[in-house]
Amino acid sequence: MSQSHSSPKFYTEALPLRGTPLDMLPGIRRIVANNPGPMTYHGTNTYLLDTGTGCIVVDPGPDDPVHIAAIHAATAGRIDAILLTHSHIDHVAGLPSLRGTIPVHAYFAPQEPDIAPDVPMRDGDTLAGWTAIHTPGHAGDHLCFARADGVVLSGDHIMGWSTTVVSPPHGDMAAYFASLDRMLTTGGHTYLPGHGPAITDPAAFTTALRGHRLAREAAILSALAAPMPIDALTQAVYVGLAPNLLQAAQRNVLSHLQKLLAEGRVEQVAGLWRPIR
């Protein structure tokens, strides 16, 4: 959801080579899957983390034989573990094709029932020097992974190319704010997101994302001068947004409204939303 007022300064990159591992940082490579779209940018990032004896594959991506073959080729078949940031389909659809007997590490309570981790992870658990940080908001089962040297795998929680869709019921705007605040205390100098290029000023960028969400919340409250249904409210707040993004925008608006409802600042009556004066 990259179009809005008060947006952060987003990162862009040229279309990466498909199937070719890109060196990101020492011991970290990226293969960009061929599933581009308005929610995925150039495609899902699959990261390969060198362990010395093999690799950890972070987010297998789509169920694309070419992409899965590229992962196998880049790792020479030496995959020690698969690590999932969250269970959205663009990150895990390729898991059955890649998995075999490779242990899967993921949040202990995945949103998708078909994702059964071999090693259930909770906040603070570690794998090969990467520490799990539970960051619900975009997804209830979302994990970021931080390394002591300041590198963070930020998944879809914080992406440089766009803001993040927070879609109920698994998406939760109040949790998203709390997770942003937590990441601001975690530190780190480079974030490697689930889509798009590396984020090299994560503190400033995360602060800007938080400010953007607060501005969106203020715009929603301002638009509710009269009671409105959510579709009209979305049109009023996301002026000029491309039609193919309106559904995702409405999910964000709903998540904001649910947060404001829990805070006692809005109410819904007969399908119309209105502020509580």
pLDDT digits (tens, 9 = 90+) for 79-136: 999 999 999 999 999 999 999 999 999 999 999 888 999 999 999 999 999 999 999 9
Which residue bears the tokens 């993921």?
Answer: 106
Contact 128, 49 (CB under 8 A): yes
3-state secondary structure of 199: strand
Residue 3 has pLDDT above 50, yes or no: no
Domains assigned to the chain: 22-211 (3.60.15.10), 216-275 (1.10.10.10)
Residue 245 has pLDDT above 70, yes or no: yes
Give every CB contact of residue 264 below 8 A, 6+ residues apart in sequence. Answer: 276
Amino acid letter, 160: G
Mind listing the pLDDT tens digit for each residue in 68-77?
999 999 999 8
Mind listing the pLDDT tens digit for each residue in 144-168?
999 999 999 999 999 999 999 999 9
Mind listing the pLDDT tens digit for each residue in 200-237?
999 999 999 999 999 999 999 999 988 999 999 999 99
3-state secondary structure of 183: helix
Query: Residue 270 has what pLDDT?
Result: 94
Average model confidence (pLDDT) for the chain? 95
Residue 51 has pLDDT above 70, yes or no: yes
Query: Residue 6 has what pLDDT?
Result: 56
Alpha-carbon span 235 to 212, nearest angstrom:
18
**Residue 99 CB-density burial (10 A; 0-12 exposed, 13-18 middle, 19+ buried):** middle
Average pLDDT over residues 180-191: 96
Contact 117, 92 (CB under 8 A): no
Task: Specify the pTM.
Answer: 0.95
Q: Which residue has the higher pLDDT, 101 or 277?
A: 101
Helices (H) and strands (E) in the chain, counts: 7, 14
Mind listing the pLDDT tens digit for each residue in 117-127?
999 999 999 99
Query: Residue 114 has what pLDDT?
Result: 86
Pairing of strands 55-58, 79-83: parallel
Residue 5 has pLDDT above 90, yes or no: no
Tokens of 235: 């049109």
Residue 4 has pLDDT above 50, yes or no: no
Q: Which residues are catalytic?
A: 90
Residue 2 has pLDDT above 80, yes or no: no
Query: In sequence order, which ranges of the chain are alpha helices (DSSP H)?
Result: 65-75, 89-92, 95-99, 173-186, 202-223, 230-237, 246-262
